[in-house]
A and B are shown apart, each in its own frame.
Chain A
Amino acid sequence: MTAALDVKGLTTRFDTRAGTVTAVDDVSFSVEPGRIMGLVGESGSGKSVTGFSILGLIDEPGRVSGGQVMVEDTDLRTLSPDALRSMRGRKVSMVFQDPMMTLNPVLRIGDQMAMAVRVHEEMPQAKALERARDALGIVGIPSPEERLAAYPHQLSGGMRQRVAIATALLHRPAVIIADEPTTALDVSIQGQILAEVRRLADETRTAIVWITHDLAVVSSLADDICVMYAGKIVERGTAEEVIGQPRHPYTRGLLDSVPGQHEPGARLPQIPGSTPQLSHLPSGCPFRNRCPRATQVCTTLPPFTSTGGHSVLCHHPLEVS
């Protein structure tokens, strides 16, 4: 099966006054149709920038400086700006974190969605609105006809996020990049949206990249997981492999600091230190000065080692039991 999205060696740099910062460093992964890939990392790890880089939506002073982004059979990186624009929303679309901000507050839901329909397919407004209504129905919005005439502020946060997802789905894209779409929502709403997304992926065969910092969410939702640290993917595998048998010390640390799986009252383990600033990375392995397993060799860049589909970027990976 060909992958819906195949990213190879994607690199994005930002030119700041302090120098050039590599926010996305040689990132590679692929997602097959109908599968959900969780892209996990702390804030500042470059996971959102990866999402924007895939769509070619990096603004000054940033730029995608290398790599390949294959969506079905097209390399987005080789397209002209206009051809790339016509891919966005049609072949690959994106959903953002805060549903309060992603919809234009002064335009009706229907008008916003119809605009997104008609930019890629010529059709009368009435037909575009029908398409929008159907999309709202698909994501489980009750009485979609009425919602078309509503303004964003008249809907709840969960509803707005559904509208955003419906908008992303309008052209049945091969790939949807979801940038923490449930972080701003209540836990109960979050559960509903996750179930909906799972169903959509299965039914529409859309490949989904689910960007999040929440391991609990990905472990219940994702088929595959990539763990990002300081712009690099440090571990990649199926959800069972990464969650069940993490090999990178960082992944281990993340999993250990999730509350709930420990004895009540016990001190929660934590990763010492904090996410490094990208402009002040240590040489070699970026995790080494927070890593319990670091040795002298970690001052050199570690290689990617794989067992089956499970890869890890580490000199001293944890043993598979």
Chain B
Amino acid sequence: MTDAVTTPNIAPDEPVGPPVETRVTRLKNFWSDFRQSWVAIGALIVIVTLLLLSFGAPLVAPQDPYDMAMLDWLDAFLRPGTEGTGGYVHVLGTDNAGRDMLSAILYGLRTSFTIGLSAGALALTIGITVGLTAAYFGGRIESVLMRIIDLQLSMPAILLALVLVALLGQGVMQIILALVVAQYAYFARTTHGAATVERGKDYIEAARSTPLPTHRVLFKHLLPNVMPPLIVVATVQVASAIALEATLSFLGVGLPLTEPSLGSLISNGFKYIHSDRYWLSIYPGIFLMITVVAINLVGDQVRTVLDPRHSR
């Protein structure tokens, strides 16, 4: 009878489910599915270009907008395409302090990316930890943690961030912190949601019944299976962090103009909206819009590809 027990009732050499995917083939499949949308490819190219330009700003930009010594009042409000006292053409014009707009935008974009990416990464880490902890331990820990998360999520992120920034003061670190506090809950809820679905499945039960340490079950078994929805949330949240920072700066509680982010540049330009000095606010706004939309477009395609119902 041992024979009957060890031999499953299906042909042993033919797995019943879909063929087992290795990490590499999974990545390849992902890429070949992702590629299907030329819009998403275009958006990806835009993001990479903007990342290179902004982090390479000290090399690319004609001026260092942080260096007050390089600013000249004579250059103030130059129209796009005018040559200034620096002897080069201000492609996107200059602002009220004579700052070259293109340089300010590239440096500002760098600040925006830095804030968006670090806030996203931190929020992701904290969110995963909280969500997995809640889902794995269950019981009282789960209900307390999730109650806090729900409570927080019922408050709009913008309001929370606003109060936090008011509380913490202005500055890059403060803004990142405020964004993390405002956003980690989304990750925690997503992780928890996906993990509770996975928790019910047999493979976790099987892993738990072996003497594997808790963290191994959590990170080796549970985490990979909750990753797909998290990746989608992460792209959306990075975009939303960038937009949020810009909004806060626009409202005057974010970064000061001496530390240009796209938001503070637009906010500064907004003052001149009724004169015809449109370039002060329009150009940083266009860069902001392109960045945020491109990230969202990529996220949208990632969502489509990772959706289990998406047909291959």
Contacts and interface: CB of A to CB of B under 8 A. Distances in A.
SS class, residues of chain A in contact with chain B: loop
A274 B9 contact: no
A286 to B, nearest CB: 16
Nearest to B33: A17
Contacts of B312: 16-17
A273 B9 contact: no
A274 B4 contact: no
B206 interface: no
A272 B311 CA distance: 29
B11 interface: yes
Interface string B271-312: 000000000000000000000000000000000000000011
A267 B3 CA distance: 10
B67 interface: no
B14 interface: yes
B59 interface: no
A268 interface: yes
B11 A267 contact: no
Contacts of B11: 270, 272-274
Interface string B1-15: 000100001110010
A259 to B, nearest CB: 10
Contacts of A274: 10-11, 14, 16
Interface in B47-82: none
SS class, residues of chain B in contact with chain A: loop
Contacts of A273: 11, 14
Interface string A268-287: 10101110000000000000
A23 to B, nearest CB: 14
A272 B312 CA distance: 28
B4 A267 contact: yes
A1 B4 CA distance: 51
Interface in B1-49: 4, 9-11, 14, 16
Contacts of A268: 9
Contacts of B10: 270, 274
A268 B14 CA distance: 18
A17 B311 CA distance: 10
A180 to B, nearest CB: 19
Nearest to A18: B312
Nearest to B15: A274
A267 B8 CA distance: 12
Contact of B9 (A17, A270, A272): A270
A81 B26 CA distance: 41
A268 B10 CA distance: 11
A270 B9 CA distance: 8
A237 B9 CA distance: 29
Nearest to B7: A267
A16 B311 CA distance: 9
Interface string A246-276: 0000000000000000000001101011100
A267 B6 CA distance: 13
Contacts of B4: 267
A214 to B, nearest CB: 16
Interface string A145-189: 000000000000000000000000000000000000000000000
Contacts of A270: 9-11
A110 to B, nearest CB: 33
A56 B16 CA distance: 31
Interface in A269-309: 270, 272-274
A69 to B, nearest CB: 26
Contacts of A16: 311-312
Contacts of A272: 11
B12 to A, nearest CB: 10
A206 B292 CA distance: 61
A270 B11 CA distance: 8
Interface string A2-46: 000000000000001100000000000000000000000000000
Nearest to A272: B11
Nearest to B13: A273
Interface in B155-188: none
Interface of A: 16-17, 267-268, 270, 272-274
Q: Nearest 7 pairs between A and B by C-beta?
A: A274-B14, A272-B11, A273-B11, A273-B14, A274-B11, A274-B16, A17-B312
15 contacts: A16-B311, A16-B312, A17-B312, A267-B4, A268-B9, A270-B9, A270-B10, A270-B11, A272-B11, A273-B11, A273-B14, A274-B10, A274-B11, A274-B14, A274-B16
Given A16-B311, A267-B4, A274-B14, 12 more contacts: A16-B312, A17-B312, A268-B9, A270-B9, A270-B10, A270-B11, A272-B11, A273-B11, A273-B14, A274-B10, A274-B11, A274-B16
Interface of B: 4, 9-11, 14, 16, 311-312
